[in-house]
Chains A and B, each alone.
Chain A
């Protein structure tokens, strides 16, 4: 198992190098020379060249890429054009806020969706089933930033229960977390339902019932443990969408997280910040996906057996 984890970590390296290159390539498509943005209109040609050298903007895309990777390995993600601050530091200051938001959202999504999905599957084709399917379909069809606006409208402006934005303690995280959670909860409800429906027909549940296991335990232990496998997969795939989706939610709620950092940096054409933030976010996604794969192996002994062989 340790060897497997080590191997997966090694495999991450080429992926991350590729990610850096793609982001580099995309940002390079931007028209205009960013050096003018930093230097202002008054700079002379010599000053521009010096500045270009200083900002790491000289050379073609490949030399810049290699220089960037080299710096990255030393923990240097460059300096913001706009704030002149270290990109890595800025990102790390923002990251805890995004992690807080994303984790609460994922917890909400799990707590809501798994019971809902189980109930829907156990009472297939009943009113409960239809209701939870309609609800999850609406959740999937609703843009989350719009849901965020509606939540602000109802809970902040009409009812005045919760703040509409900013970061002011626990009360301020509830609405953004609900916003980010909605899509994930909808998807997980559907996954849980279909996965449970698959498992519910299996013979081993009949074996469990014939042993005298209570119906509640048959569903919550024998069935769910098997149904979890696809649920975990979807969860892992969706983590990337949670981080992406939080960029919009963070904008709606003026939440000082990583997503808004990217959006703001893009509006300010702050290329080092955009590149650094995207690279680090992708790293985070990859590491979480790896963690999910490992959890997966622990839940399903068949998969674990493959890796340990």
Chain B
């Protein structure tokens, strides 16, 4: 009897895994055909490589942080491709190092909201009843506060630091993931393989982890990609308001904020960091859109 039980689960798992692998191959093949998504991937890989190898290209102390009044507000030239700021620091070097902050903040804040959002949403969708009601009402409450204002409040309460910025942006985008995860769980909860897992006495948390979440992963990945893009914009916005990464660290939003005073004569201080944000965010949006179309080709038009 027991042996039989195990057999059923294991064959089921194997077949599901097999199905998953071929599904991922199909998604990847469709994604490869999408020019926008490929462009996005290429840009994102380049930006990531720049972020990783920034210390190889530039010296953080001497190129990014050190003030050099002699080189103040130099327009773009062969020596300083994007010019220098009001403290004589090379803009390009700061942008390259800034990629580390933006990517890290974007990714970590989304991971924070993923952990909270997916856990709560999946639990709400799976358990249902009063528990679900409570979770969803709290989510409603959170999402009725404009997210950027909430992030502003959180950073100001916790104090300005890179980590607090991640927490603030993460908390303010948690409601999205609660909703996505709950909807995804609801859509597969009634499926037969979940019913049969329950029938053979599998633990609830294990059912969620093994049977339900893997089937919602694609939707969550799409949302996560798009949310990283949003988080980069939000964190740049907070830094722009002076609530983000503390000086002298080179964050793109705070570079824009600092450059604003010199916009009349040194507009490159405004143009280049903004371009960096836009290109990075654009690449993520392209990948997110491409993934969505690749995962559900019916939606592609």
Which A residues from 197 to 224 make CB contacts under 8 A with B? 197
Known: A18-B137, A266-B156. A141 touches B282 (CB 8 A): yes
Which B residues from 234 to 260 make CB contacts under 8 A with A? 236-237, 240-243, 253, 256, 260
Q: 0/1 per residue, B250-290, Cβ < 8 Å to A?
A: 00010010001001100100110010011001100110010
B115 at the interface (CB under 8 A from A): no
B157: which of A27, A124, A142, A150 is its contact (CB, 8 Å)? A27
Known: A27-B157, A157-B264. A282 touches B277 (CB 8 A): no
> B52 to chain A: which residues have CB within 8 Å?
none
A286 touches B144 (CB 8 A): yes
B149 at the interface (CB under 8 A from A): yes
Which B residues from 8 to 37 make CB contacts under 8 A with A? none
- For the complex formed, measure the closest distance between the CB of A247 and the CB atoms of chain B, giving whole angstroms: 6
- Segment touching B, from A75-83, A87-95, A238-246, A292-300: A238-246
Known: A18-B138, A267-B242. A31 touches B149 (CB 8 A): no
- For the complex formed, measure the closest distance between the CB of A221 and the CB atoms of chain B, giving whole angstroms: 22
B144 touches A289 (CB 8 A): yes
A262 touches B263 (CB 8 A): no
Give the distance in Å from the alpha carbon of A149 to the alpha carbon of B274 in the complex: 9
> B107 to chain A: which residues have CB within 8 Å?
none
Most chain A beta-carbon contacts within 10 A, residue among B229, B237, B299: B237
Q: Which residue of A lies closest to B283 (CB)?
A: A141
Name 22 interchain pairs, CB-CB below 8 A, sorted by A: A15-B144, A18-B137, A18-B141, A27-B153, A28-B157, A124-B301, A141-B281, A143-B233, A143-B277, A143-B278, A146-B274, A149-B260, A153-B271, A197-B301, A243-B146, A247-B241, A252-B260, A267-B156, A274-B153, A274-B156, A278-B145, A282-B145
Give the distance in Å from the alpha carbon of A244 to the alpha carbon of B157 in the complex: 18
Q: Is the interface of B mostly helix, strand, loop or mixed?
A: helix
B301 touches A150 (CB 8 A): no
> A23 to chain B: which residues have CB within 8 Å?
145, 153
A143: which of B141, B142, B237 is its contact (CB, 8 Å)? B237
> A19 to chain B: which residues have CB within 8 Å?
141, 144-145
A262 touches B149 (CB 8 A): yes
> B240 to chain A: which residues have CB within 8 Å?
143, 145, 248, 251
> A138 to chain B: which residues have CB within 8 Å?
278, 282
Give the distance in Å from the alpha carbon of A77 to the alpha carbon of B281 in the complex: 39
A285: which of B144, B156, B241, B243 is its contact (CB, 8 Å)? B144
A30 touches B157 (CB 8 A): yes
Which A residues from 257 to 298 make CB contacts under 8 A with B? 259, 262-263, 266-267, 269, 274, 278, 281-282, 285-286, 289
Q: 0/1 per residue, A18-51, Cβ < 8 Å to B?
A: 1100110011111100000000000000000000
- For the complex formed, measure the closest distance between the CB of B296 and the CB atoms of chain A, giving whole angstroms: 12
Known: A143-B236, A146-B256, A251-B240. 15 other contacts (CB 8 A): A15-B144, A141-B278, A141-B281, A141-B285, A149-B263, A150-B271, A153-B267, A240-B147, A247-B152, A248-B240, A248-B241, A262-B152, A266-B243, A281-B149, A289-B144
- For the complex formed, measure the closest distance between the CB of B141 and the CB atoms of chain A, giving whole angstroms: 4
A232 at the interface (CB under 8 A from B): no
Give the distance in Å from the alpha carbon of A186 to the alpha carbon of B138 in the complex: 29
> B195 to chain A: which residues have CB within 8 Å?
none
Known: A29-B158, A31-B159. A140 touches B144 (CB 8 A): no
A137 touches B285 (CB 8 A): yes
> A146 to chain B: which residues have CB within 8 Å?
256, 270, 274, 277-278
A15 touches B158 (CB 8 A): no
- For the complex formed, measure the closest distance between the CB of A150 and the CB atoms of chain B, giving whole angstroms: 7
Give the distance in Å from the alpha carbon of A289 to the alpha carbon of B146 in the complex: 12
Give the distance in Å from the alpha carbon of A15 to the alpha carbon of B278 in the complex: 35
Q: Which residue of A lies closest to B168 (CB)?
A: A26
- For the complex formed, measure the closest distance between the CB of A190 and the CB atoms of chain B, giving whole angstroms: 9
B152: which of A140, A266, A285 is its contact (CB, 8 Å)? A266
B153: which of A26, A143, A149, A243 is its contact (CB, 8 Å)? A26
B183 at the interface (CB under 8 A from A): no
Q: Which residue of B lies closest to A121 (CB)?
A: B301
Q: Please list the 10 inter-chain residue pairs (A to B) with the smallest Cβ-Cβ separation, ordered nearest first.
A: A244-B146, A146-B274, A18-B141, A244-B148, A141-B282, A141-B281, A29-B157, A266-B156, A30-B157, A240-B146
B204 at the interface (CB under 8 A from A): no
A14 at the interface (CB under 8 A from B): yes
A194 at the interface (CB under 8 A from B): yes
Give the distance in Å from the alpha carbon of A285 to the alpha carbon of B146 in the complex: 8
Q: Which residue of A lies closest to B145 (CB)?
A: A282
A153 touches B270 (CB 8 A): yes
B154 at the interface (CB under 8 A from A): yes
Give the distance in Å from the alpha carbon of A150 to the alpha carbon of B269 in the complex: 11
A152 at the interface (CB under 8 A from B): yes
Give the distance in Å from the alpha carbon of A26 to the alpha carbon of B141 in the complex: 14
Q: 0/1 per residue, A111-123, Cβ < 8 Å to B?
A: 0000000000000
B7 at the interface (CB under 8 A from A): no
> B66 to chain A: which residues have CB within 8 Å?
none
Q: Which residue of B lies closest to A142 (CB)?
A: B278
Most chain B beta-carbon contacts within 10 A, residue among A26, A245, A262: A26
> B256 to chain A: which residues have CB within 8 Å?
145-146, 149
Most chain A beta-carbon contacts within 10 A, residue among B153, B256, B289: B153
